[in-house]
């Protein structure tokens, strides 16, 4: 059995992305790890970060982003596809550059891959998620955030990245166009098994000014051009009242130790209500807070009516 890790990245240094940590977290059980590296800005140090990973498993594929042809964040999916196309494993382990897995979970993950290698009805595996927010001590358990997602897929040419690269689907036909990445007709949910392991998502744990840069970058990726309203984004990102979030009581992946040690923006966070001029985050809106309370307190943490892009099988 062979496992291929894969991801994509652009401007990891400038956007405060824990790229090295993401790769190192999965690398021990991977036979190779493919990284699609975009056309970074000249003052970015992504290449230097990758050079710190001393492993012959690492394989870099150079790419050029085209957000004009692939707007609405489908460029993320296209880059994922480029990395996926270079994978040679039986199973493909997708770790986005702002995610990590815990070293304690690696044996469980590898065993699941071995046990299901010949079970061709299993298209992949789905993981639980910790979505950290603002700092490394608070995370979301909210209807506004996906609680599970596919992160291991079988190396099947009919399985492709979908929409903004959050998930995967099986397609009847595929040409890799913008329309392909978004279509539902002619595509099918994957049949997956649950793995008793978590993904640790750090995409919303950045210094507030860095978070603003990331927000602007994502807005550009969505629109394909530079929208005028980006210039009105706040200079210092307001994470809101962190006291409304769940306090994390576990341990982070060991590879995150040095990254977490850089945390120095506690004085820019708040734990009380404050009326703001910005639009409410989805998880702050009354409707989502109400549904989240029901899910977490009365429904056994099960999602009520939420969209699931997979079919869980035993």
> pLDDT (tens digit, 9 = 90+) per residue, 75-124?
999 999 999 999 999 999 999 999 999 999 999 999 999 999 999 999 99
- Quick one: tokens of 43? 């003052």
Over 80: is that where the pLDDT of 185 sits? yes
Percent of the chain with pLDDT over 90: 82
Domain residues for the domain of 145 are 1-314
Percent of the chain with pLDDT over 70: 96
Query: Half-sphere exposure of residue 77, counting CA atoms within 13 Å on the CB side?
Result: 26
**pTM for this entry:** 0.95
Report how far residue 131's alpha carbon sits from residue 198's, in angstroms, rounded to the nearest whole number: 10
Q: How many domains does the chain have?
A: 1
Q: Which residue has the higher pLDDT, 263 or 218?
A: 263
Exposed, middle or buried, 176 (CB in 10 Å: 0-12/13-18/19+)?
Answer: middle
Over 80: is that where the pLDDT of 232 sits? no
| Start-end of H helices in the chain | 19-26, 46-51, 74-85, 106-115, 178-182, 208-223, 257-261, 286-298
Strands, E assignment, 224-293: 246-247
Report how far residue 159's alpha carbon sits from residue 190's, in angstroms, rounded to the nearest whole number: 8
Report how far residue 91's alpha carbon sits from residue 88's, in angstroms, rounded to the nearest whole number: 9
Query: Half-sphere exposure of residue 231, counting CA atoms within 13 Å on the CB side?
Result: 3
Cα 1 to Cα 46, 86, 118, 163, 192, distances in angstroms: 31, 17, 10, 29, 18
Among the listed residues 193, 188, 146, 185, the one whose alpha carbon sits nearest the alpha carbon of residue 168:
188
Q: What is the pLDDT of residue 219?
A: 83
């Amino acid at each position: 059995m062979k496992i291929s890790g894969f991801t994509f990245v652009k401007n990891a240094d400038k956007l405060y992305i824990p790229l090295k940590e993401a790769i190192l977290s999965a690398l021990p059980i991977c036979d190779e790890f493919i990284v699609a590296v975009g056309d970074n800005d000249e003052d970015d140090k992504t290449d230097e970060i990758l050079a710190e990973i001393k492993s012959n498993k690492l394989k870099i594929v150079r790419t050029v982003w085209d957000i004009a042809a692939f707007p609405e964040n489908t460029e993320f999916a296209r880059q994922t596809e480029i990395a996926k196309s270079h994978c040679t494993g039986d199973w493909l382990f997708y770790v986005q550059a702002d995610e990590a897995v815990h070293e304690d979970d690696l044996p469980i993950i590898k065993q699941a891959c071995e046990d299901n290698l010949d079970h061709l009805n299993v298209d992949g595996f789905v993981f639980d998620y910790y979505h950290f927010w603002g700092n490394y001590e608070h995370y979301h358990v909210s209807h506004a955030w996906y609680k599970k997602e596919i992160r291991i897929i079988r190396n099947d040419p009919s399985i492709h990245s979908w929409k903004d690269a959050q998930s995967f689907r099986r397609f009847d036909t595929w040409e890799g166009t913008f329309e392909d990445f978004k279509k539902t007709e002619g595509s099918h949910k994957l049949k997956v098994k649950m793995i008793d392991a978590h993904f640790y998502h750090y995409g919303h744990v950045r210094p507030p000014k860095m978070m603003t840069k990331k927000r602007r970058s994502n807005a550009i990726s969505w629109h394909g051009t530079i929208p005028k309203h980006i210039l009105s984004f706040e200079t210092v990102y307001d994470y809101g009242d962190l006291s409304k979030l769940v306090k994390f009581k576990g341990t982070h992946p060991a590879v995150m130790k040095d990254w977490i040690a850089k945390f120095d923006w506690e004085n820019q966070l708040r734990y009380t209500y404050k009326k703001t001029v910005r639009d409410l985050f989805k998880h702050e809106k009354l409707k989502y807070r109400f549904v989240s309370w029901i899910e977490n307190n009365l429904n056994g943490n099960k999602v009520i009516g939420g969209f699931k892009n997979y079919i869980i099988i035993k």
